[in-house]
Amino acid sequence: MTSQPAIMIRDLVKRYAPAGKAPGKLALDGVSFDVPQGQIFGLLGPNGAGKSTLINTLAGLVMKTSGQVEIWGHDIDRDTRNAKASIGIVPQEIVFDPFFTPLEVLGIQAGLYGVPKAARRSMELLRSVHLADKADAYARSLSGGMKRRLLVAKAMVHAPPVLVLDEPTAGVDVELRRQLWELVVRLNKEDGVTVVLTTHYLEEAEELCDQIAIINHGKLIANKPTRELVDMAREKIVVLTLDRDVTAPPQHPAFLKSIVSAERQVEITYDKDRMNAGQVLALVQDQGYAIIDVSTREADLEDVFVRLTTSAAA
């Protein structure tokens, strides 16, 4: 492993051609960032932000308008073959020929990448995604979760050092999400694969990712280590159970927000750089309320994501 980034993106622009009288859409507007080797790197953004365009550019499915992209040190324009060999893509859509078995699916994919038969690891990959017992079953007979895991194995047939997962847990149940993330962490920690993932489940991104970049309206609006990004949130929430039913919550100019969350419960949001929980409690008591119970909640990645994307859209 070297100090060279796994993926290097500089001033990446993609403008789609005009459709009729409509102007061409600017999907990526001068995006620049690096994905360090060995990380699980999150790429987040609202729908239509430009994430899929960026991933499809890495995959060679979208031609960029301008800018520079390198994958594992290989420029996608000047060294296309090695750039493509350095990355595996797990798409959102589950697409298999229903009449091929998982073993055949991996064999065909390995052939497309020019992997010699003697060097193919089809059964090893199926074991790693817990599908060895389904090696000879028709793909149409696999459950949705099995198909998702097969997509990961398919993306790894040529042993790429970089794996990109585009919304891998969209629409799947909690247990499958857990299995997929265990697989991703294992690939990263044990095999040293650099992982780039997009997801709408921000709590997963917060838990899994070493670093997160956020794109909105085609622009990069944040790129920081996950903990540093979460720490950008200044808000803190205190949940108070009061001695009587509350129809209108306690109010004060120092409160960022105060709402009734249950018959005797209020949630007060405050700026932790300007005051502390004790001062919030004192202000509530000054208004005649007795406090029965107190709990607090720190801001999380979702709070930061909403604030950044909202302010960027303003």
**DSSP letters for 47-105:** TTSSHHHHHHHHHTSS--SEEEEEETTEETTTTHHHHHHTEEEE-SS----TTS-HHHH
pLDDT tens figures, 109-126: 999 999 999 999 999 999
pLDDT at 311: 67
Evaluate whether residue 1 is within a structural domain: no
**Beta sheet of 265-271, edge-to-edge order:** 257-262, 265-271, 235-242, 291-298
State which residues form the domain around 249.
235-298
Low-confidence ranges of the chain (pLDDT < 70): 1-2, 22, 311-314
pLDDT at 62: 94
The pTM assigned to this predicted structure is 0.80
Query: Which of 229, 264, 280 is a domain's end point?
Result: 229
In Å, how far are 5, 44, 112, 192, 292 from 1, measured between CA atoms? 10, 26, 27, 9, 55
- Closest to 7 (Cα-Cα) out of 164, 139, 117: 164
The answer to whether 8 and 34 have CB atoms below 8 angstroms apart is yes
55 and 199, same domain (yes or no): yes
Q: End-to-end alpha-carbon separation of the chain, Å?
A: 41
pLDDT tens figures, 73-102: 999 999 999 999 999 999 888 877 888 999
CATH of the domain at 174: 3.40.50.300
Nearest-angstrom CA–CA distance, 40 and 163:
10
Evaluate whether residue 109 is within a structural domain: yes
80 and 221, same domain (yes or no): yes
Neighbours of 119 (CB within 10 A): 10
CATH of the domain at 272: 3.30.70.1560
DSSP summary character for residue 210: S
pLDDT at 213: 96
Evaluate whether residue 119 is within a structural domain: yes
192 and 261, same domain (yes or no): no
63 and 184, same domain (yes or no): yes
Token code pair at residue 288: 């005649």
Distance of alpha carbon 108 from the chain centroid: 29
